[in-house]
């Protein structure tokens, strides 16, 4: 028996004393000697050859204590926790109580809090599903046409809005060129609003091979203060003009881009997929609303260590996603200006929700006596194996069946809440098309190399670490 005594304290705290037997400690002490003897020099002995007793006489008998006791703690603590029936959260603090005879240690930490929750069955929420209009379907079809457009060179007319102009340019303020204000062979879609306001308009009407000046003024809010509000002249040459030619909207186009034979079939499939997407979006919003309601009904004194641990889990997961895209946190911080502490602050609110949601759903699963069968657990193992391309036995070695079961019970509890919710369906009319808005005027990127901007929220998308040639574009 490893457990000596336990005591639960306020706010989900605990203290527990447990022992490590003399025999177990002696074995760990010998392992510590074998591990460290190779690096120990004792006068009169070759390096690494001094007997254990001689080293202890020279350095003191406690020379092995730290390594030995650290090796003993995990198994002894786990055994004591099982005997005490505690559900530990976070990493406890360990203190030595006695080293006479059996080693006695004290653990101080936190347990999963007592939870109460009521009124989780019959929560009223409204399910709002966006309607799909013919205009929405036509817009999707038009996007497909644009994805399959071909670029055709224009040689028989001047530049017009909508053309892709290939240009060389070099900007100057008061006759002095500035850093980042030069580009060669740049493709610019006229009317896109990508460059400084007024720049693209002055290319319209020019012919291929023509050289001309483009006169613009940097915005007052421009990030480079030395250029803000200044007039600039860009010496520009129009190298070539191209336009995107859309394919004809007919059955032949449909056959090329889909498995359907007619335009009507293609549109019907697009509409069905959009309806499904809107239904899924509405279902997700219902689940989010139910989750918020559940968290409001949760009553528990949650120890801070649970929020901290979950925040660190979020940070590790984010780091893993970055690494999958060829980055890491240090590189991400370099190009965004964020710090680890700032990232933790961003992750903290969602981590708190995750902790609260899991506590609430675990309690609901217990109250409703929800069960997960061995067959269902096996099926989840197989799903994970297939989803990640990992052998089934390997998955079972990495994830304990108890953890799989716990996660599935949480999912079952959420399903129970949703199945018993009072969900009022409401169709949302398709939004009316707004008139095209003029792209917001933004700071030109001409005078400085473009770098990734500081993100308000971390994203899992790949972030380029390469510096790009700056352009006189509007943000």
CB 450 within 8 A of CB 181: no
**Residue 53 and residue 101 in one domain:** yes
In the predicted model, is pLDDT for residue 372 greater than 80? yes
Residue 364 exposed, middle or buried by CB count within 10 Å (0-12, 13-18, 19+): buried
Q: For residues 96 and 377, what is the distance between their CA atoms, to the nearest angstrom?
A: 41
For residue 228, is it within any domain?
Answer: yes
**Residue 347 and residue 449 in one domain:** no
**Residue 370 and residue 313 in one domain:** yes
Of 111, 134, 164, the position where a domain reaches its end is 111
pLDDT given for residue 430 in this prediction? 55
pLDDT given for residue 427 in this prediction? 62
**Residue 154 and residue 175 in one domain:** yes
Of 56, 86, 111, the position where a domain reaches its end is 111
Of 111, 136, 159, the position where a domain reaches its end is 111
pLDDT given for residue 474 in this prediction? 41
Q: Determine the average pLDDT of the residues in 184-192.
A: 94
**Residue 34 and residue 183 in one domain:** no
**Residue 356 and residue 442 in one domain:** no
Q: What tens digit of pLDDT does each residue of 39-89 get?
A: 898 988 888 889 999 999 999 988 999 999 999 999 999 999 999 999 999
**Residue 414 and residue 266 in one domain:** yes
Q: For residues 42 and 9, what is the distance between their CA atoms, to the nearest angstrom?
A: 49
For residue 312, is it within any domain?
Answer: yes
Q: What is the mean pLDDT of the chain?
A: 88
For residue 131, is it within any domain?
Answer: no
Q: For residues 80 and 102, what is the distance between their CA atoms, to the nearest angstrom?
A: 15
* Domain residue limits at 55: 3-111
Residues 6+ apart with CB under 8 A from 308: 90
What is the sign of the dihedral through the CA atoms of 20, 26, 27 and 30? positive
Least Cα distance to 113 among 83, 77, 84, 89 occurs for 89
pLDDT given for residue 221 in this prediction? 84
In the predicted model, is pLDDT for residue 470 greater than 60? no
For residue 139, is it within any domain?
Answer: no
**Residue 78 and residue 27 in one domain:** yes
In the chain, the number of structural domains is: 3
- pTM beyond 0.85: no
**Residue 21 and residue 73 in one domain:** yes
Q: What tens digit of pLDDT does each residue of 113-169 get?
A: 999 999 999 999 999 999 999 999 999 999 999 999 999 999 999 999 999 999 999
For residue 405, is it within any domain?
Answer: yes
**Residue 270 and residue 177 in one domain:** no
For residue 25, is it within any domain?
Answer: yes
**Residue 161 and residue 89 in one domain:** no
**Residue 211 and residue 295 in one domain:** no
Q: Determine the average pLDDT of the residues in 437-441.
A: 34
CATH number at residue 359: 1.10.3120
pLDDT given for residue 432 in this prediction? 52
Q: What tens digit of pLDDT does each residue of 10-26 get?
A: 889 999 999 999 999 99
Q: For residues 255 and 262, what is the distance between their CA atoms, to the nearest angstrom?
A: 7
**Percent of residues in the chain assigned helix, strand, coil, to nearest 5:** 45, 25, 35
What is the sign of the dihedral through the CA atoms of 181, 187, 190 and 192? negative
The label of the residue with tokens 């191209």 reads: 242
Residue 60, sorted as left (phi over 0), alpha (psi -120 to 50) or beta, turns out to be left
């Amino acid at each position: 028996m490893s457990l000596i005594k336990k005591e639960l304290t306020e706010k989900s705290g605990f203290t527990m004393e447990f022992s490590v037997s003399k025999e177990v400690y002696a074995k760990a002490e010998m392992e510590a000697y074998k591990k460290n003897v190779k690096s120990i020099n004792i006068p009169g002995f070759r390096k690494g050859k001094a007997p254990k007793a001689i080293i202890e006489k020279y350095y003191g008998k406690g020379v092995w204590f730290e390594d030995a006791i650290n090796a003993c703690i995990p198994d002894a603590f786990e055994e004591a926790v099982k005997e005490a029936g505690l559900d530990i959260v976070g990493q406890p603090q360990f203190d030595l109580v006695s080293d006479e005879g059996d080693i006695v240690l004290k653990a101080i930490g936190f347990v999963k809090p007592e939870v109460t929750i009521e009124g989780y069955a019959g929560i009223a929420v409204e399910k709002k599903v966006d309607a799909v209009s013919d205009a929405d379907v036509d817009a999707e079809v038009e996007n497909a046409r644009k994805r399959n457009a071909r670029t055709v060179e224009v040689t028989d007319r001047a530049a017009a809005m909508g053309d892709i102009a290939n240009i060389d340019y070099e900007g100057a303020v008061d006759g002095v060129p500035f850093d980042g204000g030069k580009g060669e062979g740049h493709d610019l879609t006229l009317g896109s609003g990508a460059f400084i306001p007024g720049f693209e308009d002055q290319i319209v009407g020019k012919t291929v091979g023509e050289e001309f000046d483009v006169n613009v003024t940097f915005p007052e809010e421009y990030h480079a203060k030395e250029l803000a509000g200044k007039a600039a002249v860009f010496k520009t040459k129009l190298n070539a003009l191209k336009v995107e030619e859309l394919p004809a909207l007919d059955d032949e186009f449909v056959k090329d881009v889909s498995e359907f034979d007619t335009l009507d079939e293609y549109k019907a499939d697009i509409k069905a997929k959009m309806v499904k997407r809107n239904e899924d979006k509405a279902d997700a919003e219902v689940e989010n609303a139910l989750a918020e309601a559940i968290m409001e009904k949760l009553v528990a004194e949650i120890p801070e260590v649970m929020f901290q641990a979950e925040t660190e889990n979020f940070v590790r997961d984010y780091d893993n996603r970055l690494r999958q895209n060829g980055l890491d946190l240090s590189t991400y911080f370099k190009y965004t200006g964020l710090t680890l502490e700032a990232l933790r602050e961003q992750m903290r609110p969602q981590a708190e929700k995750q902790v609260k949601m899991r506590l609430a759903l675990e309690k609901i699963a217990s109250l409703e006596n929800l069960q997960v069968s061995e067959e269902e657990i096996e099926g989840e193992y197989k799903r994970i194996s297939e989803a990640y391309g990992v052998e089934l036995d390997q998955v079972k070695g990495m994830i304990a069946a108890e953890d799989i079961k716990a996660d599935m019970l949480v999912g079952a509890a959420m399903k129970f809440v949703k199945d018993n919710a009072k969900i009022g369906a409401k169709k949302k009319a398709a939004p009316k098309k707004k008139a095209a808005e003029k792209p917001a005027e933004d700071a030109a990127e001409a005078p400085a190399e473009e770098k990734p901007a500081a993100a308000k929220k971390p994203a899992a998308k790949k972030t380029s670490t390469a510096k790009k040639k700056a352009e006189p574009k509007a943000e």
